Structure 1
Amino acid sequence: MNVIKFGGSSLASGSQLKKVVQIVKEDAARKIVVVSAPGKRSAEDEKVTDLLIGFGMKALVGHDYSAVLSKIINRYQSIAEELGLGNEIIDEIRTNLDSLVNGNKDEPDYYLDAFKASGENNNAKLVAAYFNQEGVPARYMDPKEAGLVVTNEPGNAQVLPESYEQLYKLRESKEVIIFPGFFGYTKDGKACTFSRGGSDITGSILANGIKAGLYENFTDVDAIFAANPNVVENPIGIKELTYREMRELSYGGFSVLHDEALQPAFKLGIPVQIKNTNNPSAPGTRIMKERQMSEQSVIGIASSSGFSSIYIDKYLMNREIGFGRKVLEILESKGISYEHMPSGIDNLTIILHSNQMTTEEEDSLLVQLKEELDADSVTVERNIALIMIVGEGMREKMFTMSKAATAFSENTINIDMINQGASEVSVMFGIQAKHEDLAVKALYEAFFVK
């Protein structure tokens, strides 16, 4: 029994949903279908989830929400009409949306989460209705009925361990189960969403719960590419990669798969297959615990921007017991998380997301670090991009760093920071953000073209 998940672009219109039914029909093992809310039909379109957030915000403060509510209903109605479904399912969706307005506004986070969760929930009902119309016995499954229990963290819910035992019972179903992604229920019965893009997480949780043989994640690309196709022209597709490689690439900027999604599947060693709804015959990318190593040391290049570097210099820092702890305590007191902290004998670099602080808060942090650490100097550099090369094979191959350094040098890109984790699966470079795209192209040329 396999779990198969379809993203918003795969469910954006009736024509897309026809492809979904055909894909599920092609493999009898595809018994649990996880669905997102309808996504964009074009670049100018709006995602249903975004519309629902606007709807919820207006309802929460008592503003007129009639226009956005009509937009949401029209999106579902256009899909239903294209598929020849009757008005019954739209009436059910309309009733649900109307009922959301009467929720408990004294708990605004839970109130808004109910709106966000309704996108997937209502779409699952519509998809189940269409499957049955097409002769595929299917039923909508409420996450509460299934036993998907989560923590009381609206917008960042975590699955509770008892969910897995309860979800295993889904294996008993004779019908195809249509399961809404993105949310579960707290122990006191409140809908609570995962972080944005969390339908991937739902799919992985269900794969773990039913002990699936495979978790298939259908999206709108043929594979995970070795570099961002918006930066590198026609990058190669990756056939296989490990969980660790995917985690590193997701963190580094790859957006194909939610970076939390693999954890439940990883625990049981369940392989994940990325496929294209619009080109299902393409082999896609398989993510697994281990893979056969090739001559290629680097499997992917990722990048992200919006970082700052704080440099702390203090003579004999390495001999001062508790120095690192003091730094972390200062960050904690400001409510700031850091991404990386490479160090030397007399200096330390803190890499963090710039959007965590205003200019005034940043100035205050620098003063506090200098005074409380008695540092010789504390300086900041903004507009930093992190470029990451990833590959399990880097441990076995020589000259990887030489190739990367040469690529930077030949393109006159200065490296501000290098950080390699103990796993040796990735190496990260900090550079000026203005060189981000150039750096990705240069590294791709070095590792995949030359």
Structure 2
Amino acid sequence: MKVVKFGGSSVADANQLKKVTEIIRADRERKAIVVSAPGKRHAKDTKTTDLLITLGESVQAHVQNQAIYDQVIERFGSIIRELELDQSILEKIKNRIDEASDLVKTDVNRGMDALKSCGEDGTALILSAYLQTRELESYYVNPKEAGIFVSDQPGGALVLDESFEHLYKLREREGVLVIPGFFGYTLDDELVTFSRGGSDITGSIVAAGMKVDLYENFTDVDSVFCVNPMIVENPQQLKTLTYREMRELSYAGFSVFHDEALIPAFKEKIPVCIKNTNNPSGDGTMIVADLPEREGHVAGIASDSGFLNLYVSKYLMNREVGFGRKLLQILEEEEISFEHAPSGIDDMSVIIRDHQLPAEKEEVVKDRIQNELQVDMITIERNMAMIMIVGEGMNEAIGVASKATTAFRDADVNIDMINQGSSEVSMMFGIKSDDLNEAVRSLYKAFF
């Protein structure tokens, strides 16, 4: 038995949904299908979820954007027409969008989550109906019916343990089950979405709950590459990765997988295969629990920009009990999450996603740190990028750090931060964003 998830590019239009249908028909072990909202049909297109968010923001501002509304309805309408499905499906989708828009007016957080979920829900309704026209017994299964129960954190829900017992019962159902990704329900029956890209999370949750033999994640690439193909031309493909490697790579900029998505599958030791909807016969990339055999210890190089470094210096900081806790508590109270916090005896850096600390909040945070912790120096450096070298067994390999730092030197790139910490599978470097591409190319040349 398999759970299959199809991403936004795989369900972007009627033609893609026909490919999805043939993939499902080709393997009767594909029992549960999790779908995203329709994604981009071409480079200049807009994702359906982005349209729905824009629509919600206009409703919140009391001036509903009719052009965006019409665009969303037409997006689903064109798919339904091309698949020659009953127009009643479009009415269901339209009614859900209208109800969610009305909810935005009275409860913004609930309404926005309800509106964002309409993309995945619409895809699921359409696909389940189309499968039936292709002589496949199929059923639309709402996340509430499936038993996906989540915490009450709008836009950032976490799955509750009781979900998995309910999901296991789906094994007993007849036919192909089509489940919209990205959202679940609280125990009080409130619709709440996962963080953006959350259809991957749904797929992994369903796979774990149903205890299937394989979780297939279909996207628009043949496999995971060892480095961003937008930076390095024709990079090596990775045939096998461990869960830990993929999680680290996803966190650090690999866009193939949501960085939280693997956790449920990992706990149940369910292998994951990433495949291409446009080339379903390809091998793809397998993600497994045990260390794969490969040459060298480095599996991939991930990179991402949009970071800042909050640097604090205070003489004899190491003698002051609780200094780090107090600093991080200030960030917590200002609702700022941090990524990394390397420190020395007299100084400490906190690496933060740029959007977490907007410019208008910067002075408030600096003033609090200065007044409450009596520091000698505090600076905030923006325009930083992080590069992560990932691979199982790196901590046992001699010369990885040396090879990496030599690659930075060869690219004439200065390293602002190095952080390995307790991780056995990754080493992180902080540099200026402007140097990112040159550094990545040099690292690729060194390791691959």
- TM-score class, shorter-chain normalisation, is over 0.9
The amino acid of 2:10's aligned partner reads S
Provide the C-alpha distance between the structure 2 equivalents of 1:373 and 1:18, rounded to a whole number of angstroms.
Answer: 61
Corresponding residue of 1:373: 373
Corresponding residue of 1:170: 170
The more displaced of 268-277 and 113-122 is 113-122
What displacement does 1:423 show?
2.7
What displacement does 1:294 show?
2.3
Corresponding residue of 1:225: 225
1:196 corresponds to 2:196: yes
What displacement does 1:360 show?
5.3
- Is the 1:293–1:393 Cα contact (8 Å) retained in structure 2? no
- Is the 1:52–1:115 Cα contact (8 Å) retained in structure 2? yes
- Gap change, CA 1:129 and 1:318, over 3 Å in 2: same
- Is the 2:251–2:258 Cα contact (8 Å) retained in structure 1? no
The amino acid of 1:426's aligned partner reads S
The more displaced of 63-72 and 178-187 is 63-72
User: Normalising by the residue count of structure 1, what TM-score does the alignment of the two structures yield?
Assistant: 0.95
The amino acid of 1:11's aligned partner reads V
Corresponding residue of 1:136: 136
Corresponding residue of 1:315: 315
What displacement does 1:102 show?
4.0
- Gap change, CA 1:188 and 1:411, over 3 Å in 2: same
Count of residues paired in the alignment: 448
Q: Secondary structure at the match of 2:128?
A: helix
The amino acid of 2:112's aligned partner reads L
- Gap change, CA 1:75 and 1:358, over 3 Å in 2: closer
Q: What is the root-mean-square deviation of aligned Cα atoms in Å?
A: 1.8
Map residues 45-124 of structure 1 onto 2, 5 A cutoff.
45-103=45-103, 105-124=105-124
Map residues 289-308 of structure 1 onto 2, 5 A cutoff.
289-308=289-308
Provide the C-alpha distance between the structure 2 equivalents of 1:92 and 1:422, rounded to a whole number of angstroms.
Answer: 51
Q: Secondary structure at the match of 2:266?
A: helix
- Runs (4 or more) in structure 1 with deviation over 4 Å come to none
Q: Secondary structure at the match of 1:392?
A: coil
Corresponding residue of 1:253: 253
Provide the C-alpha distance between the structure 2 equivalents of 1:409 and 1:419, rounded to a whole number of angstroms.
Answer: 18
- Gap change, CA 1:103 and 1:434, over 3 Å in 2: closer
Corresponding residue of 1:6: 6
Task: Give CA deviations for 1:269-319 in whole Å, capped at 9, x if unaligned.
Answer: 111110000011221111111122422211111111122223323333222
The more displaced of 264-273 and 67-76 is 67-76
- Is the 1:318–1:345 Cα contact (8 Å) retained in structure 2? yes
- Gap change, CA 1:369 and 1:79, over 3 Å in 2: same
Provide the C-alpha distance between the structure 1 equivalents of 2:93 and 2:127, rounded to a whole number of angstroms.
Answer: 12
Corresponding residue of 1:187: 187
The amino acid of 2:377's aligned partner reads S
Corresponding residue of 1:383: 383
What displacement does 1:374 show?
3.4
Corresponding residue of 2:275: 275
- Is the 2:104–2:112 Cα contact (8 Å) retained in structure 1? no
What displacement does 1:69 show?
2.5
- Is the 1:143–1:184 Cα contact (8 Å) retained in structure 2? yes
The amino acid of 2:395's aligned partner reads R
Provide the C-alpha distance between the structure 2 equivalents of 1:121 and 1:20, rounded to a whole number of angstroms.
Answer: 16
Q: Secondary structure at the match of 2:151?
A: coil
Q: Secondary structure at the match of 1:159?
A: coil
- Gap change, CA 1:64 and 1:378, over 3 Å in 2: closer
The amino acid of 1:411's aligned partner reads A
Provide the C-alpha distance between the structure 2 equivalents of 1:378 and 1:104, rounded to a whole number of angstroms.
Answer: 41
- Gap change, CA 1:154 and 1:389, over 3 Å in 2: same
Corresponding residue of 1:240: 240
- Gap change, CA 1:329 and 1:59, over 3 Å in 2: closer
- Is the 1:184–1:193 Cα contact (8 Å) retained in structure 2? yes
Map residues 327-406 of structure 1 onto 2, 5 A cutoff.
327-359=327-359, 361-406=361-406
- Is the 1:296–1:393 Cα contact (8 Å) retained in structure 2? no
- Is the 1:339–1:350 Cα contact (8 Å) retained in structure 2? yes
Q: Which runs of 5+ in 1 are unaligned?
A: none
Task: Give CA deviations for 1:382-435 in whole Å, capped at 9, x if unaligned.
Answer: 221111100013123211111111111111111111100313211101111110
| Identity across the alignment (%) | 54
The amino acid of 1:187's aligned partner reads L
- Gap change, CA 1:98 and 1:353, over 3 Å in 2: closer
- Gap change, CA 1:75 and 1:361, over 3 Å in 2: closer
